[in-house]
Chains A and B, each alone.
Chain A
Amino acid sequence: MRPFVYERPADVSAAVAVASRFADQQDQPTKADVQFIAGATNLADYMKLGVAKPKRLLDLNALREPTLRQIKIGDGIIRFGALVRMGEAADNDDVRRICPLLSESLKLAASGQIRNMASLAGNVLQRTRCEYFRETSWPCNKRDPGSGCAAMEGFNRQHAVLGTSDGCIATYHGDFAQALIALDATVEIEGKRGARRMEFAKLHRLPGDTPDIETNLAPDDVIVAIEVPFAAWSRRSHYLKIRDRESYAFALASAAVALDLDGNMIRHARIALGGVATVPWRAKAAEEALQGKTLDQEVAETAADAAFAEAQPRRYNAFKIPLGKRTLVRALLETRDMKV
């Protein structure tokens, strides 16, 4: 690991100021000389592997603003402070009651220890676990732009079938982000340019020709909160995660579903898919396919077909298309059948 300077800013404005001073604005946050750290579960791992090489770490855990550590619920909004730990959010009874999808997506992620460490903002910004990205001896367009993609023709069982490009097929492995994108969440950001809000759906960028550019954040942007709208319908929401083992594994396919039902008729479905795409993936085509329909197996299958219509399989991950569809169908039916 490269040595780094360690600092512990006292408040958000200090963090932004130090970051702006040491980061080249042209740098991606993941490549900048100065990087933020909170839970450390993703960044420390990648620093050990030589994938992340910050020269200066700004530890956000001492930021004095109490709202960073609070979950506030009111006016149809759940506001998660950025430093709330995944475990705390998962255990919050009100969140679970209001929107089970949020709690389930958190509870099914990682392990008890990691959930105790990882901050919510850090979690949504976690980087791909692509094996070829993790190990610096492989070519990787995301890690070293222009070097090529070893996964494309390599062992790509884990890799994405949606949102891929010729340069990158690395999966976005997070779970919570699937809930957030399905629920039209918003992130609150403070940066050199002042405070601003961004739709969660705009936070992550498709790999395209620049898989190294992962988000629309500047290197001195600090996410301070994530806001999720809720209403009566959000009680009928659910996260289904399918993986090789029962726990502590990334999704092979997952589905975040929230259904606004009028009797058996779908007023509005909100759907996101995990484990199958390069970024948190809102399945709008599936949602549209369900609009106004009565949800049964056949309708669910039509929606699942729509969700994967554009999927691009590779040699070892072609199964993710049928698996992703089946996962969505099962999630839809289970959500329909929830007692709320």
Chain B
Amino acid sequence: MPKVISTGTSTVSKLSRRSFMSGSVLAAATMPIITRSAKAEEPPSDGQDNARALAAVSMRVNRQSYNFALDNRTSLLDALRDHAGLTGTKKGCDHGQCGACTVLVDGRRVLSCLSFAVMNEGRDVTTIEGLAAADGSLHPMQQAFIDNDAFQCGYCTPGQIMSAIGCVNEGHAGSEDDIREYMSGNLCRCAAYPNIVAAIVQARDETRRS
């Protein structure tokens, strides 16, 4: 009998409220079952009209439900920025090369520029705007970025912070070398890298303590 070592989506469920993520993302620990699935015997028409039709897309973003009507081509990034008005998530390359658009989807850090929004039906998305508590108190990672001057122009910062939270949650912030390696998908042209590493160490340790 082959032994099941791990399953595809097990990582999210280990998180706790105090371990960096807001509680709401815990809900979606498995791939959502989608009702809009295609049946082979009932293919939709293949005309241009169909390809251009707007798709109804629902997702939770920062603990709120959003119902979008989107072009299939719209990236998750553009849906957040242009359709949800959440401009904290940044476009730096639009091709998955800079990390500025990093958000958490179902608790995992991903590049929102390389994900079509329609592929995120039913998902739970967290952006930089969703980190601070309702009373305005900052997430420990946000405070650590301030304390360690982990940015200059600030443009890559939302992506750095979301990626840093993902990095710690994934268990890849054990050493400074690990942090450097696992944060290398986030370019900082101002080159605040040593300060970013220091910030992540601070936030990681604070979170462990609490």
Contact = CB atoms under 8 A, between A and B. Distances in A.
- A-B interaction: yes
Interface of A: 1-10, 13-14, 17-18, 21-22, 37, 40-41, 44-45, 47-49, 55-59, 61-62, 64, 66, 68-75, 77, 79, 81, 83-85, 87-88, 91-92, 94-95, 110-114, 116-117, 246-248
B8 A8 contact: no
A110 B167 CA distance: 15
B36 to A, nearest CB: 6
Nearest to B30: A69
B185 A114 contact: yes
Given A2-B51, A5-B72, A44-B115, 4 more contacts: A6-B55, A73-B3, A114-B185, A248-B184
Nearest to A246: B184
B3 to A, nearest CB: 5
A111 B185 contact: yes
A91 B38 contact: no
Interface string B109-125: 11100111011010000
Contacts of A21: 40, 43
Contacts of A246: 180-181, 184
B44 A7 contact: yes
A314 B172 CA distance: 40
Contact of B4 (A72, A85, A91): A72
13 contacts: A1-B73, A14-B40, A18-B38, A48-B94, A59-B118, A59-B119, A62-B31, A62-B32, A73-B5, A91-B11, A91-B171, A113-B96, A116-B108
B166 interface: yes
A14 B38 contact: yes
Contacts of A9: 37-38, 40
Interface of B: 1-9, 11, 31-34, 36-40, 43-44, 46, 48, 50-52, 55, 71-73, 75, 94-96, 99, 102, 108-111, 114-116, 118-119, 121, 163, 166-167, 170-172, 180-186
B91 to A, nearest CB: 12
Contacts, number: 174
A94 B96 CA distance: 30
Nearest to B73: A1
Contacts of B116: 6, 37, 40, 44, 57
Nearest to B118: A6
A116 B107 CA distance: 11
A40 B181 CA distance: 23
Contacts of B4: 70-72
A74 B185 contact: no
Contacts of B73: 1, 3-4, 47
Nearest to B10: A88
A91 B166 CA distance: 14
B96 A6 contact: no
Contacts of A47: 73
Contact of B8 (A49, A75, A85): A85
A45 B95 contact: yes
A4 B51 contact: yes
A37 B184 CA distance: 25
A7 B51 CA distance: 11
B114 A44 contact: yes
A302 B3 CA distance: 41
Contacts of A44: 75, 96, 114-116
A81 B6 CA distance: 11
A57 B180 CA distance: 36
A8 B110 CA distance: 20
Most chain B CB inside 10 Å of its own CB: which residue of A40, A77, A87: A40
B72 A6 contact: yes
A48 B114 CA distance: 9
Chain A to chain B: the 4 pairs with minimum beta-carbon distance, closest first: A111-B185, A69-B8, A17-B40, A74-B2
Contact of A113 (B11, B34, B102, B118): B102
B40 A18 contact: yes
A75 B183 CA distance: 37
B117 to A, nearest CB: 10
A112 B34 contact: no
A66 B46 contact: no
Contacts of B48: 3
B110 A61 contact: no
B46 to A, nearest CB: 7
B46 A5 contact: yes
Given A45-B95, A111-B184, A111-B185, A71 B5 contact: yes
Contacts of A6: 55, 72, 116, 118-119
Contacts of A84: 8
Contacts of A70: 4, 6-8
A9 B37 CA distance: 5
